[in-house]
RNA sequence: GCGCCCGUAGCUCAGCAGGAUAGAGCAGCGGUUUCCUAAACCGCAGGUCGCAGGUUCGAAUCCUGCCGGGCGCGCCA
């Protein structure tokens, strides 16, 4: 089933060619929903624009177009679709869909597949409402990078938008028939990682000394006290910690204790986190003091404020001497993934451990990436190094050393820098620090290569043999994910980074590689704004720390639970149905609470910041999850109460409210297309809100179970069924459960 | 300093590949329940779309300048 807008679009495109020949080819018919019900259902605004190019009066053009459409001719396909169009104002063509068409289109929607109530929100909903996937020729492989939590930290509000928006986009694109590859770019290789490992080491030592379980928390508050007491107290405290640290190293230079500890350690994030925070706090406090310890192998002095860096260096250097660090690292990842998995399941987010390709996954490609940049982007700009970016601008990239760091300078063809720093000097993309360490830009280049490359469809020619080998080692079979479209669901502040990254990739020519038939790769930064508190500053807990996602969700569910309780009590027996059991209340509170948090985020325009408000997201009125869920529950209630079925009864759109509801239902498909091209989930939210509003109006005006006659009754039931299924499907694509009762 | 984003009703926000009289929700005022869930529905009131120019048959939407706010800007991610 195609949506009305799509049908109109196709018919108008044909008519444009028929009426105006070449001049009408590839002209967008500009089919839009009517701005006012009096003007019909849709309108075409193409005539006014065409007036200039054709040198004719817009109303004449509109008339010619209508003649070419052939409405009213018995043999014209358009005749069953619309009433004869009217020309209005300067040349608007007003279109009114025929009632018979609407009724037939709605009646032809296949019944919901049996088995009905799917508990999980699967990637592909069982009930498609007759909506077909996009044409085979338009299907793409879409790689979507979202969520990307940091292993060293617990998930917090900062991860909410990426996780939720990314998941919805993934669901919508998959529903449209695209091959979606989710990627969770876990932050598992950064500097903070040394702190986690070091924290685990401290846990080990504390345990051996027989200290209490909350050792880390105690040390943290001791440190805070020493800090506020001033310089000398802090120095004394840090010196004590240093001595303790050194004593432990001396006691067990081979790390036998730590190795044993790791073998039996059941990693739990609740223990890891305070230990990490402790190390973090100690190191930042120690920066101002000249304290050192001898490193694990006892060969050199290490600054006490930089022990974790040293651990990172050991970890990243590789080799069997550092197995211990590697093992600790694996355990920490394990713990983090389990914590993330719990959050994802609760959020009904599709990400699994199979989608994780963290920073560490790419780390051995990094030297090859730098070599590739050096070979492909020589200082004397070769032709290959200049290309039109996806924005259509020309970019030229030059890779050279600067101050000991390896840099990519992006330039316009005449050599002026594309990006500048605060001092007005060219701002490069730095891919290797002067100390030899790699940065996230390097990892992002490696990840992008992996995501686009495909041995068969899009082999990317690489000059660096070591990079070729490293890429092949990652995915020997396919040589990469073969993405035609690579999406990065990452916050707005990183816009500059992605501009530079994409410009570099374009200059390397990776997006244009592969067989001629392969589409050019589109790289897109799906940017989003921040979550703000009522004070319009980034949303934080009262303590000033960012809010843990787990706490946020707990509170949402608790608030929803109170509402369920209140409401059930107020309703009493009035509704003539059994009160909700505790288990039902729990389930409803969970769905409503989580759904409200998600919906409040998704219904905002992705690009803008939004103010987090419990009252608004849990409100029953307005564009909220509870409102939509209520509309769905109300419909299901009709079926429950009437023990009714409607099977394949023909739809009748007699009443204006019936027609309006039917029209909305049919517009679901075109809404999805809009979401997949703009990647704006709020368009889907707006649609669902309007759909629910149309249902509410219908509900007030058109009795269903008490309909005047049986024919009307079953027709209305069928319309209700379609409305409920559309709501359920739409909510499902947002990763929100629809409820039977609430 | 440079770059990006934002400024729409008292408040929070939609609308911005230009289209007819700019929409929601909240807050305010007034209605609706012997009737399928009132966690609802309906009505009223509320706007020089930051300001000034420009392009256009037509601008909240595109361009330029200004004012106000946010974010970003080489070896963090």
Residue A533, phi then psi, degrees to nearest 5: -85, 180
Task: Answer yes or no: is pLDDT of A426 > 90.
Answer: yes
Residue A339 placed within a domain: no
Q: Which helix (H) or strand (E) holds A292?
A: strand A292-294
3-class state of residue A679 by DSSP: coil
User: Pairing mode, if any, of strands A141-145 and A92-95?
Assistant: unpaired
Q: What is the pLDDT of residues A198-244, one digit of tens each?
A: 999 999 999 999 999 899 999 999 999 998 887 789 999 999 999 99
Give the pLDDT confidence of A432-446 residue by residue, as tens digits: 999 898 999 999 999
Provide the pLDDT for residue A447.
Answer: 98
pLDDT of residue A663: 96
In a shared domain, residues A476 and A556: no
Dihedral sign, Cα of residue A162, residue A168, residue A174, residue A178: negative
Is A408 found in the same domain as A282?
Answer: no
Does position A620 have pLDDT exceeding 50, yes or no? yes
Query: Domain residues for A395?
Result: 359-525
Residue A733 CA to nucleotide B14 C1', Å? 21
- Of residues A425 and A119, more confidence is placed in A425
Instruction: Report whether A310 contacts A194 (CB < 8 A).
Output: yes
Q: Is residue A133 part of a domain?
A: no
Does A26 score more than 60 pLDDT? yes
Residue A222 inside a domain? The answer is yes
In a domain, A244, yes or no: yes
Within-domain flag for A538: no
Percentage of chain A lying above the pLDDT 70 cut: 95
Mean pLDDT of A716-726: 96
Calpha distance A565→A572 (Å, rounded): 11
DSSP designation for A432: E
Q: Are residues A503 and A607 in the same domain?
A: no
Chain B positions with any atom < 7 A from a protein CB:
1-6, 12-21, 24-26, 35-42, 57-58, 70-77
* Position A505 in a domain: yes
Q: How far is the CA of A48 from the C1' of B52 (A)?
A: 29
Q: Quick one: A435 and A517 in the same domain?
A: yes
A593 touches strand B (CB under 7 A): no
Q: How long is the CA A217 to C1' B9 vector, in angstroms?
A: 51
- Residues A644 and A721 reside in one and the same domain: yes
Q: Which of A117-126, A474-483, A717-726 has the weakest average pLDDT?
A: A117-126
Q: Is A325 contained in some domain?
A: no
Q: Give the pLDDT band (50/70/90) at residue A601.
A: very high
What span, in angstroms and rounded, lies between the C-alpha atoms of A314 and A193? 11
Q: Rounded CA gap, A345 and A341, in Å?
A: 6
Number of domains in chain A: 4
- Residue A154, pLDDT score: 87
Q: For the beta carbon of residue A329, count every other beta carbon within 10 angstroms.
A: 23
pLDDT of residue A117: 60
Q: What is the per-residue pLDDT for A230?
A: 79
Asked whether residue A190, judged by its CB, lies under 7 Å from any atom of the DNA or RNA strand B, the reply is yes
Residue A571 pLDDT > 90: no
Q: Which two tokens stand for residue A543?
A: 């303590």
Token couple for A17? 């060619």
Nucleotide nearest to A39 (CA to C1'): B20
Q: Which nucleotide is nearest to A634 (CA to C1')?
A: B37
Within a domain: residue A121? no
How do residues A677-720 score in pLDDT, each as one tens digit?
Answer: 999 999 999 999 999 999 999 999 999 999 999 999 999 999 99
pLDDT tens readout for residues A142-160:
999 999 999 878 899 999 9
Chain A 126-165 contacts with nucleic strand B (CB below 7 A): 150
Task: Give the largest CA-CA distance in chain A.
Answer: 96
Mean of pLDDT over chain A: 90
Residues A612 and A500 in one domain: no
Instruction: Evaluate if the CB of A439 falls below 7 Å from strand B.
Output: yes
Per-residue pLDDT reduced to its tens digit, A66-88: 999 988 787 778 889 999 999 99
Give the separation between CA A310 and CA A312, rounded to whole angstroms: 5
pLDDT single digits (tens) A510-520: 998 887 777 88
Q: Looking up tokens 């019900």, which residue turns up?
A: A37
Domain boundary among A66, A97, A128: A97
CA of A728 to C1' of B43 (A): 31
Residues A519 and A604 in one domain: no
**What's the pLDDT score for residue A380?**
57
At residue A181, the 3 state secondary structure works out as strand
Residues A409, A442: one domain?
yes
* CATH code assigned at A626: 1.10.730.10
Q: How far is the CA of A171 from the C1' of B7 (A)?
A: 34
Determine the pLDDT at residue A503. 94
- Binned at pLDDT 50, 70 and 90, residue A384 comes out as very low
> Strand B and chain A: which residues 241-270 have CB closer than 7 Å?
none
* A28 closest-nt by C1' vs CA: B17
In chain A, the percentage of residues whose pLDDT exceeds 90 is: 70
- Identify whether residues A415 and A562 lie together within a single domain: no
Predicted pLDDT at A92? 95
Q: Is residue A424 helix, strand or coil? A: coil
- Distance of C1' in B61 from CA in A198, Å: 55
pLDDT for residue A524: 96
pLDDT at A320 exceeding the cut of 70? no
**What is the reported pLDDT for A294?**
85
Please tell me whether residues A380 and A253 are part of one structural domain: no
Same domain? For A561 and A609 the reply is: yes
Q: Which residue among A97, A117, A139 closes a domain? A: A97
DSSP states of A599-645: HHHHTS-TTS-EE--HHHHT-SSSSSHHHHHHHHHHHHHHHHHHT--
CATH number of the CATH domain containing A62: 3.30.1360.70
Final residue of a structural domain among A97, A120, A138: A97
DSSP A157: G
Q: Which two tokens stand for residue A76?
A: 């014209």
Which nucleotide comes closest to A189 if you measure CA to C1'? B77
The answer on pLDDT for A508 being more than 60 is: yes
**Residues A570 and A613 both lie in one domain:** yes
């Amino acid at each position: 089933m195609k949506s009305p807008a799509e049908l109109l679009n196709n018919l108008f495109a044909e008519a444009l060619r028929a009426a105006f020949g070449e001049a009408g080819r590839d002209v967008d018919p500009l089919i839009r929903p009517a701005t006012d019900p009096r003007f019909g259902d849709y309108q075409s605004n193409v005539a006014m624009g065409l007036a200039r190019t054709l040198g004719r009066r817009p109303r004449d053009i509109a008339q010619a177009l209508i003649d070419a459409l052939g409405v009213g001719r018995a043999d014209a396909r358009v005749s069953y679709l619309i009433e004869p169009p009217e020309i209005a104002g300067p040349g608007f063509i007003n279109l009114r869909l025929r009632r018979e068409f609407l009724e037939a289109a709605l009646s032809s929607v296949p019944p919901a597949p049996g088995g009905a109530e799917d508990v999980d929100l699967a990637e592909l909903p069982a009930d498609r409402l007759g909506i077909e996937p996009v044409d085979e020729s338009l299907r793409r492989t879409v790689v979507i990078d979202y969520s990307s939590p940091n292993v060293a930290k617990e998930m917090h509000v900062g991860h909410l938008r990426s996780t939720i928006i990314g998941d919805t986009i993934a669901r919508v694109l998959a529903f449209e028939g695209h091959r979606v590859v989710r990627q969770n770019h876990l932050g598992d290789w950064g500097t903070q990682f040394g702190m986690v490992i070091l924290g685990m080491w401290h846990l080990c030592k504390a345990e051996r000394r027989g200290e209490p379980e909350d050792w880390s928390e105690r040390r943290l508050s001791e440190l805070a006290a020493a800090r506020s007491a001033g310089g000398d107290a802090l120095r004394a405290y840090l010196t004590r910690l240093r001595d303790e640290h050194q004593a432990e190293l001396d006691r067990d230079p081979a790390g036998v204790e730590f190795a044993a500890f790791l073998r039996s350690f059941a990693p739990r994030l609740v223990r890891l986190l305070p230990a990490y925070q402790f190390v973090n706090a100690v190191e930042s406090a120690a920066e101002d003091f000249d304290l050192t310890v001898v490193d694990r192998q006892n060969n050199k002095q290490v600054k006490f404020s930089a022990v974790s860096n040293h651990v990172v260096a050991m970890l990243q250097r590789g080799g069997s001497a550092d197995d211990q660090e590697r093992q600790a690292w694996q355990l920490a990842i394990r713990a983090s993934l389990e914590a993330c998995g719990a959050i994802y399941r609760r959020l009904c987010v599709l990400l699994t451990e199979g989608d994780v390709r963290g920073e560490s996954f790419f780390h051995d490609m990094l030297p090859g990436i730098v070599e590739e940049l050096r070979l492909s982007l020589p200082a004397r700009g070769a032709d290959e190094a200049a290309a039109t970016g996806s924005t259509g601008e020309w970019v030229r990239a030059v890779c050279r050393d600067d101050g000991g760091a390896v840099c990519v300078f992006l330039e316009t063809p005449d050599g002026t820098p594309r990006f500048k720093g605060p001092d007005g000097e060219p701002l490069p993309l730095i891919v290797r620090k002067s100390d030899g360490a790699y940065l996230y830009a390097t990892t992002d280049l490696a990840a992008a290569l992996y995501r686009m490359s495909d041995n068969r469809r899009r082999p990317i020619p690489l000059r660096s043999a070591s990079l070729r080998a490293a890429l092949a080692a990652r995915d020997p079979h396919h040589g990469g994910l073969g993405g035609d479209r690579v999406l990065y669901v990452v916050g707005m502040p990183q816009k500059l980074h992605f501009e530079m990254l994409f410009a570099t990739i374009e200059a390397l020519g990776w997006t244009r590689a592969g067989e001629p038939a392969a589409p050019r790769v589109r790289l897109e930064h799906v940017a989003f704004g921040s979550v703000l508190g009522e004070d319009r500053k980034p949303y934080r807990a009262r303590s000033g720390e960012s809010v843990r996602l787990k706490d946020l969700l707990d509170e949402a569910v608790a608030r929803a639970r109170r509402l369920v309780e209140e409401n059930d009590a107020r309703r009493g027996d009035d509704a003539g149905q059994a009160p909700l059991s505790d288990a039902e209340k729990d389930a409803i509170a969970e769905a409503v609470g989580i759904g409200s948090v998600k919906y409040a985020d998704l219904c905002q325009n992705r690009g803008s910041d939004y103010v987090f408000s419990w009252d608004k997201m849990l409100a029953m009125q307005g564009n909220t999850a509870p409102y939509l869920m209520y509309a769905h529950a109300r419909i299901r209630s009709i079926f429950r109460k009437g023990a009714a079925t409607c099977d394949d009864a023909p739809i009748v759109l007699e009443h204006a409210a019936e027609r309006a509801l039917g029209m909305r239902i049919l517009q679901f498909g075109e809404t999805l297309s809009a979401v997949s091209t703009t990647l704006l989930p709020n368009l889907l939210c707006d649609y669902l809100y309007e759909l629910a509003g149309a249902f509410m109006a219908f509900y007030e005006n058109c009795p269903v179970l008490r309909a005047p006659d049986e024919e009307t009754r079953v027709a209305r039931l069928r319309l209700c069924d379609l409305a409920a299924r559309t709501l359920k499907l739409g909510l499902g694509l947002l990763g929100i459960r629809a409820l039977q009762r609430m």
